[in-house]
Chain A
Amino acid sequence: MRKVGIVGIGHTVFGNLSEFDLVDIMSFASADALDDAGIRKERKIVDQVFVANVGAGMLNHQTAIASSLVSRIDLEPAMAETVENGPASGASALKCGYTAIAAGLADVVMVTGGEVMRAVTGWKATDFVATLLHPEAEYNYGLTLPAFAAMFTRLYMERYGLTEEELAMVAVKDHDNGIKNPYAHVPYTCTLEGIYGSSDAQVVNNLIADPLRLYNMCPVSDGAASLILCALDSAKMKHFKKKPPVVIRGIGAATDTHCIHHREDPLELKAVRLSAERAYKMAGLGPKDISFAELHDAFVILELAISEEVGFFKKGKSRDAVVQGLTRIGGKLPINTSGGLKAKGHPLGATGVSQVFELVKQLRGEAEEGRQVGNPIHGMAVNFGGFGNNVVTTICSKE
C-alpha cells in the first residue's frame, strides 16, 4: 500500500459564523491548506476532493457542496464527492482520501470539512443532531445526544464512582488548552470553583441533562478545516518542499448498534475500541507509543471513556489521570491539546478534520506558545459518530 503524507493544513476560527456562507467558510480553510502546502498557483495538481458535511441540506438549504467548493476555489476538473457520516464525517472523509491515494486513484487529495449550524435556533440545532438517533425507538421521544450522554454518565458514575468535581476538572483542563488556541470557539479559562460547588456555579453551570451541566458539553459551532494529502512515492511530492510531510500511519473505523439499548453493556464503546485496535494494527503501534491524542469530547465524559477504550488507561481509571494532571500539556499523555470539542467547538463535519489538523500542528512543532507537546512522535485522533455507533481513529506520525 502507498504511504500517504499530510502536506498542507488549513483552519477557520470556530464559533458563530452564521452570517457567512457555508461554502465560503470551507473555501477559506481550503485556500489556507493550499497556501500552507505552497501550491495555490499549482492547485490543479489536486486530483480529488472529499468534503465532510452533515447539515447543509437540513440547515443551510444547500446540496452538492463538494461540486460547489471545487468551483469556488477553482479546482475543476478535480474529482469531488461529499462524505456524510454524522459527527465522524471529517475522519471518514480523510479515510476516503487516504484510500483513494493508497489505491492509486489519486496522487494529491484535498479533504475539507465544514458546518454552519448556528444558522438555526438552538432548538432546531438540537433536533437536527438528534435525527441521527433511531427514528422510531429514540428520536420520536424527544431523546437527544445530551440525553444519552447523560444516561451514560450516570451509569459510569454509579459503576466507577466518578464525581461531578472530576468531570468539571476535565472541562477546566480543556479550557486551559483552548484559550491558547486561536481557532477556539470558547477561548477563555474557567476555574474549578467557578463551575463546581460554588453558588456562582449553580448559576453559570446550569443543568442541561442531569447529571450533565453546561460545562460538561461542547458548544454548537460553525467552522471549517482542511488537509492536503499526497502519496509519498508520487512525483508530485516535488511541489511540497515547504514543510516535511506528516505520515498517516494508521486508520481504523468500526460501527456499533444504532439503538443504544441494544448494547449488552451500555458503558462499552465497542466501536471506539475496535477502530483503535484496527488503527494500531495498521500502524504497528500500541497505546504506549502514542505521544498525545485528540479525543472526541462532545461531552467531557467521552474524553474519559474513549481514553479507556483505546487502551490509555484501565476502565474507570482515567479520572485518576485527570486528577494527577497526566492528560494536561506537559503531562505524560496530553489529551485534547487543542481544547477539544469542549473549548475549541464542534462544527460536525469539520471536527474530524480539525482533530487531524491539530495532530499535524503538534507533530510539526507548530502549536502556539504554551500548547506545544514536547517532541511528539505519534498522535492519535478519535472521531466519534452518533453515540458511538460509527467511530474513526487516525494515527499520524513524524516521517
Chain B
Amino acid sequence: MIDTNVVDFEKYRPARLEVYAYKCPECGTLHYPAPMICKDCSARRDPSGVLFSSWEKVPLGGKCTLLSWTRVYALPEGFDARYLLFGIVEFENGLRASGRLLVEEPKIGMKLVSKVGVVREKIGEDVYGFMFDRS
C-alpha cells in the first residue's frame, strides 16, 4: 500500500501548461518552435546549455488573429472525434502558430485568445498544445 503521506505528489503534477517561444540571447528574436540557428543573427542554440548559452524560454500565447482555418472530418489514427477544427493564428508579437480551434463558426480575421490543453492523448502521455477560443 502506498503511504500517501510520503508520496511527493508535486513531483507527478503535470508540467506547467504553457507553450514556449525561444529567445535568441544574441539578438533577442523570438522563435517558435525552437530552431538550432537564429534566422536573424545566426547564433547557435544548444539544448544542453553546455557548448553555447541556453536560450530563454518565453511563454507564448494571449491574443491572436485567425489567419485561416479548417474543419477536418478525416482524422488520423489516434483521434476519436467526428471532426476537429484547426487554425493558423498570428499573436500580437508577430509570431504565428498552428493549433486546435474551439470556435464552431470561425471567420478569417476574427480575434481569438490562446489556451493550452491536451491536443493528443497517447498511452501514458498527454500532449499539450495550443487551443484557440473567442477572446
B99 A123 Cβ-Cβ under 8 A? no
Interface string of B72-107 (1 = CB under 8 A from A): 111111110000101110000000111110000000
Interface string of A86-126 (1 = CB under 8 A from B): 00000000000000000000000000000000000111101
Is B42 positioned at the interface, with any CB of A under 8 Å from its CB? Answer: no
Contact of B97 among A123, A152, A261, A266 (CB under 8 A): A261
Which residues on B sit within 8 Å (CB–CB) of A212? 70
Which residues on A sit within 8 Å (CB–CB) of B84? 142
Which residues on A sit within 8 Å (CB–CB) of B96? 261-262
Closest beta carbon of chain B to A305's beta carbon, Å: 14
Is B1 positioned at the interface, with any CB of A under 8 Å from its CB? Answer: no
| Cα distance A247–B130 in the bound complex, in angstroms | 50
Closest to A129 in B: B76
B67 A141 Cβ-Cβ under 8 A? no
A140 B120 Cβ-Cβ under 8 A? yes
Is B52 positioned at the interface, with any CB of A under 8 Å from its CB? Answer: no
Closest beta carbon of chain B to A154's beta carbon, Å: 5
Q: Among A124, A127, A261, A266, which residue has the most Cβ atoms of chain B within 10 A? A: A261
Q: How many A-B residue pairs have C-beta atoms within 8 angstroms? Tell me.
A: 100
| Cα distance A147–B72 in the bound complex, in angstroms | 6
A142 B75 Cβ-Cβ under 8 A? yes
B77 A151 Cβ-Cβ under 8 A? no
Interface size class of A (residues with CB under 8 A): 35 or more
Is A64 positioned at the interface, with any CB of B under 8 Å from its CB? Answer: no
Is B123 positioned at the interface, with any CB of A under 8 Å from its CB? Answer: no
A137 B79 Cβ-Cβ under 8 A? no
Is B108 positioned at the interface, with any CB of A under 8 Å from its CB? Answer: yes
Interface segment, one of A18-26, A203-211, A338-346: A203-211
B108 A155 Cβ-Cβ under 8 A? yes
Is A276 positioned at the interface, with any CB of B under 8 Å from its CB? Answer: no
Which residues on B sit within 8 Å (CB–CB) of A262? 96
| Cα distance A93–B83 in the bound complex, in angstroms | 37
Is A243 positioned at the interface, with any CB of B under 8 Å from its CB? Answer: no
Interface string of B106-134 (1 = CB under 8 A from A): 00100000000001100000010110000
B100 A141 Cβ-Cβ under 8 A? yes
Is A363 positioned at the interface, with any CB of B under 8 Å from its CB? Answer: no
Closest beta carbon of chain A to B87's beta carbon, Å: 8
Interface string of A143-182 (1 = CB under 8 A from B): 1101100111011001000000000000000000000000
A208 B73 Cβ-Cβ under 8 A? yes
Is B33 positioned at the interface, with any CB of A under 8 Å from its CB? Answer: yes
A207 B68 Cβ-Cβ under 8 A? no
A-B contact pairs, 18 of them (CB 8 A): A123-B75, A126-B74, A126-B76, A127-B76, A127-B77, A140-B129, A141-B100, A142-B78, A142-B84, A142-B86, A142-B100, A143-B98, A144-B75, A208-B72, A208-B74, A209-B71, A210-B73, A259-B98
